[in-house]
Chains A and B, each alone.
Chain A
Amino acid sequence: MKFSISKDVLLAKLGIAVRGVSTRSAIQTLSGVLIRAGSGGVQLQATDMELGLRVDLEAATEREGTVVLPGRLLLDVVRSLPKDQVTLEHRAGDGDVEVVAGSAKFHLRTLPPEDFPNLPEAGSEPLRVPTQAFVETINRVARAASRDETRPHLTGVLVSANERELRMVATDSYRLSVKETELAEPLAGSLEVNVPARTLQELTRVAGEGGDEIEVTALENQVVFSAGGVVLSSRLVEGRFPNYRQLLPESFEHELAVSGPELLDVVRRISLLAQKNAPLRLRFEDGGVEISAQTPDVGEASESIPIPFKGEPFEIGFNPEFFREGLESAESDEITLKLISPLRPGLIQSGDFTYLVMPIRLNV
């Protein structure tokens, strides 16, 4: 293998690929980036077995071949090089790759390529979805997925697409986030997959610079996304995604129109005094809500805003972070806050976005 390329191009593409490198696998090769130089150009690959990245780059290949090099180290080396052409040459006899830029010369020992897994290929007829809608929907929903690896079936986002609707759902059992995005054009096919939230967050990073469409291929237990010269593949989450519709209450006692940004400001301020697992308290009375928090030995805070509430006053507690994230993800001037009673779920709604959040039982 031998090719030359501009340092800046290599650095940019390598930076993307290295995000797929495994940081703690027992298989040493997975800490590496596979570099395949072919007649059509060069491809970088990395995977931690859960997520795989393939990045194409244009380079003048002098000799074809494939090597695996330690990913982090190679990135550090390339970043440190002077702005210039870089040449990488595999020296099979020495078991290393020579990296040359100007008079700087590195010899990096290769890792065994036979341990490097084959990454799944995108299908010949992928589903094309608009990048902007896809990325925005991920950004609004994915943070509600669980990070608790002992509950793997909740670590994913249920992605469904059909006709003109793109829907994503995530829940960590304390809150549930749903967005049903209407697409400008009907899709050519349909899709329903439970994708690890981490994969989708990675996709938002690589797809940002890509074209107008993301190509999605759902395989039996893998999914492959292609966008802007980057192919991101991932295993799918095993286990059935909860039937989220039955978690949404059919009706609510109170439906309150509120200014999203105003409520969010208040929640952010008052949450400063909701430390150490202390709840954020919302006390509803005729015409207003008082939001308060109290942390023993630290202090307390409260603030009231007008709200069209009528009826028996009550107080409900929420995890400040869960409640705040719901308001942030609503991304709207006008939201509707829907409530039943202190121990029943609350709901934040704005347009096609729905966020269910479970309360904290208040002691007093």
Chain B
Amino acid sequence: MEEPRCIAHMDMDAFYVSVELQRRPELRGKPVVVAGSSGRAVVTTASYEARKFGIFSATPAERARRLCPDAIFIPPDFESYRARSGEVMAVVRDHVENVEQAGLDEAYLDLTGLARPKAAARRIKAEVSEATGLTCSFGIGPNKLVAKVASDAEKPDGFVVLTASEARERFAPEKPGLIPGIGPKTADRLAAKGIDTLGKLASLPEESLVEWFGGNQGPWLGRLARFEDERPVTAHRAVKSESKETTFEHDLRGFDALAPLLGDLAESLCTDLGKKDRRGRTIGIKVRLADFSIHTRARTLNDPTNDREVVRRVATELLREFDPRSPVRLLGVRVAGLDEAAPADDQLALGV
């Protein structure tokens, strides 16, 4: 029989803010918010003090200012965050072979096969904090889903170990939206059916789920609610698409006002792709209208490209066809279906 899996999810506590506080210790204990400075910026991280005012990631910066006029706003410095993230991940990789980095501030660790996985996780947690002065929260479970939800359960500085059935029991009274993968729309549809807790979702008969959400999504939702998850921890996530987008200070109206911006976005996107020598076949645009609705259009070419003229031309055609009638808040260009160094499945690697 195969050994049962043991997966940990490590999530840095208020990572960006914590990095800033190390540089500016005089701000400790105060509501601190990392957010861009343009009128439309959203909060990337809020300190735990700021969260008491109702400020969270993705809160519009303007709203955050109203919620807590005394909050200290710091512009994001991703270069530093990336550097600090590198230090954290280096500690983790010293201990664990199979690490899937899911962002600058989080990673899944496959602890399967370790003699004392929980002790190892505690040691990593302590070493991360020793090496970087930053705290993190760990969740440990039989799969990525349990680990992820557990790491979030007792933040900051949390350490939560759960089996799947313990997770089912503990989170049964919570809203379905607690589960990553169940977005607000799905949550609304569930709520409309009277399914407002994970417990209710978990005990729904599969037929109802299939009837409401179809033969794929329905059973999948049931599995999520039961904390069943078979996804492997994979060290490299092959990036399949890249995009650039820009939110405007003031809404823009009409094709003529928007089209020139596509050229800029295409140029900056293709410069990045060119540096990595990557090309994609699918070119798409993303448009967010004044009512916050998001619209995407895409077209697939015969050959992969990272030529900015090609990307600009196709994006412009897509925009012309879409022809947004109401004012536009955000415009994005995307190249997907990237080829490149996604190594073949059977490519062997050196142990480095």
Asked whether, in the complex, the Cβ of A239 is within 8 Å of the Cβ of B90, the reply is yes
B67-109 residues with Cβ-Cβ distance < 8 A to A are 75-80, 82-83, 86-87, 89-90, 93, 101
For A239, the chain B residues whose CB sits under 8 A away are 86, 90, 93
For A238, the chain B residues whose CB sits under 8 A away are 83, 86-87, 90
Question: Which stretch, B179-187, B191-199, B212-220, B336-344, touches the partner chain A?
Answer: B336-344
Indicate the member of B76, B87, B347 with the most A CB atoms within 10 Å.
B347
Asked whether, in the complex, the Cβ of B268 is within 8 Å of the Cβ of A358, the reply is no
> Size of chain B's interface in residues, with CB distance under 8 A?
35
The number of residue pairs between A and B whose CB atoms lie closer than 8 Å in the complex comes to 89
Is A362 positioned at the interface, with any CB of B under 8 Å from its CB?
Answer: yes
> Size of chain A's interface in residues, with CB distance under 8 A?
41
For B83, give its contact among A174, A235, A277, A319 (CB under 8 Å).
A235
Asked whether, in the complex, the Cβ of A173 is within 8 Å of the Cβ of B352, the reply is yes
- Cα A23 to Cα B273 with chains together (Å): 13
Asked whether, in the complex, the Cβ of A343 is within 8 Å of the Cβ of B36, the reply is no
A contact patch SS: loop
- Cα A147 to Cα B340 with chains together (Å): 11
Question: Which stretch, A5-13, A133-141, A150-158, A300-308, touches the partner chain B?
Answer: A150-158
Q: Which residue of B lies closest to A26 (CB)?
A: B76
Is A89 positioned at the interface, with any CB of B under 8 Å from its CB?
Answer: no
Asked whether, in the complex, the Cβ of A171 is within 8 Å of the Cβ of B350, the reply is yes
Q: Which residue of A lies closest to B87 (CB)?
A: A238
For B2, the chain A residues whose CB sits under 8 A away are none
Taking the nearest CB of chain A, how far is it from the CB of B108, in angstroms?
Answer: 12
Q: Which residue of A lies closest to B83 (CB)?
A: A238
- Cα A50 to Cα B271 with chains together (Å): 17
For B344, the chain A residues whose CB sits under 8 A away are 277-279, 319, 360
For A26, the chain B residues whose CB sits under 8 A away are 36, 75-78
For B75, the chain A residues whose CB sits under 8 A away are 26-27
Q: Which residue of B lies closest to A221 (CB)?
A: B83
For B89, the chain A residues whose CB sits under 8 A away are 150, 152
Interface digits, A45-64 against B, CB 8 Å rule (1 contact, 0 not)? 00011100000000000000
Is B257 positioned at the interface, with any CB of A under 8 Å from its CB?
Answer: no
For A319, give its contact among B82, B90, B343 (CB under 8 Å).
B343
Is B321 positioned at the interface, with any CB of A under 8 Å from its CB?
Answer: no
For A25, the chain B residues whose CB sits under 8 A away are 78-79
Is A40 positioned at the interface, with any CB of B under 8 Å from its CB?
Answer: no
Is B1 positioned at the interface, with any CB of A under 8 Å from its CB?
Answer: no
Taking the nearest CB of chain B, how far is it from the CB of A177, in angstroms?
Answer: 12
Q: Which residue of A lies closest to B84 (CB)?
A: A238
Contact of A319 with B347 at beta-carbon distance under 8 Å, contacts A238-B86, A239-B86, A247-B352 already known: yes
For B236, the chain A residues whose CB sits under 8 A away are 148, 150-151
- Cα A173 to Cα B349 with chains together (Å): 5
Is B115 positioned at the interface, with any CB of A under 8 Å from its CB?
Answer: no
Is A41 positioned at the interface, with any CB of B under 8 Å from its CB?
Answer: no
A25-46 residues with Cβ-Cβ distance < 8 A to B are 25-27
Asked whether, in the complex, the Cβ of A358 is within 8 Å of the Cβ of B347, the reply is yes
Asked whether, in the complex, the Cβ of A360 is within 8 Å of the Cβ of B346, the reply is yes
Is A245 positioned at the interface, with any CB of B under 8 Å from its CB?
Answer: no
Residue pairs across A and B with Cβ atoms less than 8 A apart, 7 shown, are A23-B272, A26-B36, A173-B350, A198-B275, A247-B350, A277-B343, A319-B344
